[in-house]
Every structure is written in structure tokens, then in C-alpha cells.
Amino acid sequence: MSEFAEDEYLEVNWPATALPEDGPSAVERLETATRSRAPASDPTPRPWPPKAPREAEVEPESQPEPTGEAPKARPGRRTAVWVAGLAAAVVVAAAGYVYWDYAAHFEATDDAFIAARQFAVAAKASGFVAEVPVADNQHVAAGDVIARIDDRDYRVALATAEAQAAAAQANLDSADAQLQVQQAQIEQSQAQVESTEAALAFAEQQASRYDDLAQRGAGTVQNAQQYSSALRQQQAAVKTAKAALTTAQRQVAALNAQRANAEATLTQANAQVEQAKLNLSYTVVTAAQPGRVVNLSAAVGQFAAAGTSLSMFVPDEVWVVGNFKETQLDAMRPGQNVTVVVDAYPERALRGRVASVQPGSGTAFSLLPAENATGNYVKVVQRVPVKIVLDDPPTDVALGPGMSVAPTVRVDPTPSLYERLRSWL
């Protein structure tokens, strides 16, 4: 058995309990025995048991001696690393440019809301509300009834106006009849004038003949005087007939004036009838266009004076007002496509287009516009309202004024990098 094998055997198989409690320890006795058996050629005593060498003291034969310099990589590997890094940088730069160029074609804002021309629905006729056939937030079509007002007083007024119109029409018909009668009298007077003139002509002939006979002595003077008197009578009859004709003709003018008065009265009566019909129609409050009834305040039995608001009305025609920064309007033009996301319905994306851009900032048209003519002026980017019309608004959800939206406008493509560089050069 060699020395190291024996040492290992003793270290492993020597029981610690076999040693006495007093005297040298077992380790010391083993060391003493080992020294006594050590060969003369190795004068250096070795400790017992042998200690295992530390890891730092073990130096593998294959480990190169440190020289203070890092190991050099292979030339081919370093070239591949550089090529891969350069390719990655090119890809990242290209992707960044593509994203920047794509993002430059959109302008978005969260300062936007839905707008509409909402108005108050009021009654033009006063009276007690008799019926309210609609409910809050109900959608109505054009012509649907919103409220009815008691119309009995207005029906009585209409009947009165129609009676007055009928009386005026009767007066006009009477004037027309009088004119026809007068025209017949004129014709009669005309005939009377013609008859008297014919009789006058005969009387002139008779007077002339008997006067000639009396002068020649063939006739009596009495006959000549008699026919001469008849001639004068006939002349007077002709004048009377002509005067009667003139009177009849002038009576026509008076009758025409009366007819004109009757016609004017009839026109006024007809206007009163139309007004009464309008007043009666005002008792039925209808929707002028399709939309929704909002904030309904009308109730059955309520007295509604003329002009009293019965409800608010929001038409179906709504649009989006986006307050874009003035720096976002460079490439924005009417007709460009817009994507609108409503905050209330984020899962939907509505389509629209730019209708117009307001020629001025929002504050310029406010009640108290900002006055910047001061010594401590600070430039602030202004907001300009842009009207966006929705192409096909949804009908299964409620879209009303004031609801927040987020529009994104697809503006005209900006000049490419090559074009910008060319313009700069």
C-alpha cells in the first residue's frame, strides 16, 4: 500500500471513538507514525491527514498563462456582426421613415364634439293642451304630432269668417245682377232714343209738308201749327230719351263701384277665413323635420300661451365640429376623408368628410373676443373649428349635440423627402 493510499485508509477507517480521552490525540499519533515511516529521500514532513489542494492553487495544464490582453475574435465573425448591425440599423431607419411618412398624412384632435341646429318647439296659438302623443327622447318623422291644443274657439272663429265670406260673396253676386239689370235698362233707353228720333224725323216731315201747304193756301194754318207743335214735342221726347240713356249709362259706373266694394269685402272675408284656418292649424304642433323630442315639458291641461316652449327638438342632421390647431390646417382641405370615433361608442368608427374650415379662430367669433394689443402679449396656438359631415350616421344609437368625439383627417400627402430636398436645393 502506498503512502497516500494508507493515509486515505486511515483517515476514512480509523474510528474516532477508539482513541483514548487522555494523551495524544489520534491525529497526533498518526502524524508521528507517518514521520517515522517517511523515506530518507524526502526529508520534508507532510501533514496528516493530507489537505486537499485549493481550487485556486490547481493550475490546469491546458489553461494559458494570462497576458493582460483580451482574446482576439476571428476576422470573419467580426465582419458578420458588423454587417448584421448595419442591416438592422438600415431596417430600423427605413421603418422609422415609413412610419413618419405615414403618420404625416393624418391630423387628429380630441377637442371635438357633435353639433346640430337644435331648437325649441313652441305653440303659435294659445290655449289649453288637449293631447301630448309623444314621449321624451322619442324619434318622430316630419309631420308627426307633438302636441294638440283645444281648438273649439278657433273652429268658431273659422265658422264666423266663412259666414262673412259668404255674405260678401252674396253682395258681389247682387252687384253683378244689378249691373246686368242696368245693362238691360241701357239697352231699353237706347231703343227709346232710337224710337223718338224716328218719330222726330216723321214729325219734321209732317210739319214741313203742312207748313208748305199752308203757305200755298192748300192747307189750313191750324194743321200747320198742329204738326209744328207735334214736332217740338217729339224733339223734347228725343231729349228725354237721351237723358234717360245717359242716366242709365252713368248708373253702370256706380254699380261697378259697388261691385268693386263687394269684391274687396269678399277678398277680406276670404283672407279672414284663411287666417282662421291657419289659427286652427296652429293648434296642432307638428315636427317640421325628422328628429328627436328632447326635454318635453308639455302636459295635458297646461295652458300654453303663444310662443311657450313645449319641448326641445334635435334634428337627425348632425355633424362634427373639430377644433384643430391652426398648425394642423396646412394640408387640410374640404372633401378629405375623416374617421370619427365617438367616446360613447368606442367600438365604432364612423366615416365622414371635411365639409368646410371656418375662416377664423373660435375665439374671434365669441361674445368677448380676445384682444391681444397688450404689452405682455404671449403667442398661443389658436383653435380653428372644422365642420365634418358624417356619411352614414348610425340610427340604432343616439347621437346628439355635445357628445365628445375624436376625428382623424386623412390629409393630402405631404411632399416626399426627395421633393423636399430638391426644393431646398
Per-residue pLDDT tens for 68-96?
Answer: 555 555 566 778 888 888 888 888 887 77
pLDDT tier at 378 (50, 70, 90 boundaries)? confident
Q: Is the distance from CB of 401 to CB of 314 less than 8 angstroms?
A: yes
Candidate from 52-61, 109-118, 333-342, 401-410 with smallest mean pLDDT: 52-61
pLDDT at 185 over 70: yes
Nearest C-alpha neighbor of 349 from the set 311, 394, 314: 394
Which residues lie below 8 Å from residue 319, measured CB to CB, with a gap of 6+?
A: 114, 115, 116, 355, 387, 388, 389, 390
Give the pLDDT confidence score for residue 10 in this predicted structure.
46
Range in 18-22, 293-297, 310-314 the model is least confident about: 18-22
Nearest 10 degrees: Cα torsion 185, 187, 189, 192: -140
Question: Does 323 score more than 90 pLDDT?
Answer: yes
Cα–Cα distance measured from residue 129 to residue 298, given in angstroms and rounded to the nearest whole number: 8
Quickly tell me which residue has 328628429 as its cell: 291
Q: Is 11 helix (H, G, I), strand (E, B) or coil?
A: helix
For range 367-384, the mean pLDDT: 79
More confident residue, 200 or 6: 200
Which of 109-118, 221-230, 271-280 comes out lowest in average pLDDT? 221-230
The fraction of the chain above a pLDDT of 70, given in percent, is 71
Give the mean pLDDT of 291-310. 93
Identify the weakest region by mean pLDDT among 40-44, 230-234, 383-387.
40-44
Residue 17 has pLDDT above 50, yes or no: no
Sheet arrangement for strand 139-140:
119-122, 309-315, 291-294, 139-140
Q: Which amino acid is at 356?
A: S
The helix (H) or strand (E) run that includes residue 207 is: helix 152-216
More confident residue, 226 or 61: 226
Residue 423 confidence (pLDDT) = 67
Structure confidence at residue 99 (pLDDT)? 64
pLDDT value, residue 11: 47
pLDDT in tens, 99-156: 665 566 889 999 999 999 999 999 999 999 999 999 999 999 999 999 999 999 999 9
CA gap 108, 78 in Å, rounded: 46
Q: Say if residue 417's pLDDT is above 70.
A: no
pLDDT digits (tens, 9 = 90+) for 351-363: 999 999 999 888 8
CA 168/CA 173 separation, integer angstroms = 9
Domains of the chain: 1-61 (no CATH), 106-116+318-424 (2.40.30.170), 122-147+287-311 (no CATH), 152-281 (1.10.287.620)
pLDDT mean across residues, the chain: 79
Q: What is the pLDDT of residue 367?
A: 78
Determine the pLDDT at residue 2: 46
